[in-house]
Structure formats: structure tokens, C-alpha cells
């Protein structure tokens, strides 16, 4: 699935940026500190094929928000990162993750976390 490759590519980009960044706000909670964000990137890469896609989306979003909080990344940088990863790893067709909720014949289920 192209979406898994896209999120994995973004996790790798995030990991590289975190490792190369000198920026870190020690006043922020440890859960958004560099060490934890790196761990999350590694978990995405290791488990991308087995985790629900919604979990992968949440995790990459959390990582990028943590990077923004630590001033490693800004919103424009996050958009560029997504565009680069999308151009390199996504298919050219429509992304079913973006449109599946519009199909009235297919029940849409929201995975809210904590299930695994």
C-alpha cells in the first residue's frame, strides 16, 4: 500500500532531521523530546506493515508536532516534507484513506487508539 510507504518515508525523514538537529526545548515534556520522537520514528519503520493505518497517521502527526514544538521544523517545512515523500513514494491515483469515508455503502470506522 502506497500510504504505508509514504508514512514510513516521512518517519525516516523525521528521524534524520531529529538526529541532525541541535534544537531541543528542555522545558517541554519528555514525551516530545528528541529521544522519544526518535523512538517513535523507529517504531513506525519497524511496525508499518502490521499497525493500522490510522495509528501510523496519528504517530507521524505527533512526531511532526513534537518537532515543531522543539523548533526543529515549521509548518512550511512539514508541508515540504510531505510533498517530497509523496512525490517519491505515493501512487498517482486517489488515496483511499482520504476518500473511503465518502462511500455511503461502506461503513466508516474510526480507530481512536488504545486497541493495540
> Quick check: is 69 in a domain?
yes
All 3 cell numbers of residue 85? 515523500
> Quick check: is 115 in a domain?
no
Question: CB within 8 A of 96, min separation 6: which ones?
Answer: none
Q: What is the pLDDT of residue 38?
A: 95
Q: What is the pLDDT of residue 23?
A: 73
* Domain total of the chain: 1
Let me know: does 18 contact 68? Beta carbons within 8 Å: no
Give the residue numbers spanning the domain of 25: 2-89
> Quick check: is 116 in a domain?
no
All 3 cell numbers of residue 23? 534544537
Half-sphere exposure of 3 (CA within 13 A, CB side): 15
The crossing angle, in degrees rounded to 10, of helices 75-89 and 2-20 is 130
> Quick check: is 47 in a domain?
yes
Better-predicted residue by pLDDT, 19 or 93: 19
pTM of the entire predicted model: 0.73
Q: What is the pLDDT of residue 94?
A: 53
Let me know: does 85 contact 77? Beta carbons within 8 Å: no
Residues 44-80 pLDDT 10s:
999 999 999 999 999 999 999 999 999 998 988 888 8
Q: What is the pLDDT of residue 59?
A: 94
Let me know: does 29 contact 55? Beta carbons within 8 Å: no
Amino acid at each position: 500500500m502506497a500510504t504505508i510507504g509514504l508514512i514510513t518515508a516521512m518517519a525516516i525523514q523525521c528521524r534524520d532531521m531529529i538526529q541532525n538537529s541541535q534544537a531541543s526545548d528542555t522545558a517541554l515534556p519528555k514525551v516530545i523530546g528528541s529521544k522519544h520522537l526518535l523512538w517513535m520514528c523507529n517504531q513506525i519503520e519497524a511496525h508499518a506493515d502490521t499497525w493500522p493505518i490510522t495509528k501510523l497517521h496519528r504517530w507521524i502527526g505527533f512526531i511532526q508536532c513534537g518537532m515543531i514544538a522543539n523548533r526543529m521544523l515549521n509548518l512550511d517545512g512539514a508541508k515540504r516534507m510531505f510533498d517530497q515523500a509523496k512525490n517519491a513514494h505515493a501512487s498517482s491515483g486517489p488515496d483511499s484513506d482520504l476518500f473511503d469515508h465518502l462511500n455511503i455503502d461502506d461503513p466508516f470506522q474510526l480507530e481512536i487508539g488504545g486497541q493495540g
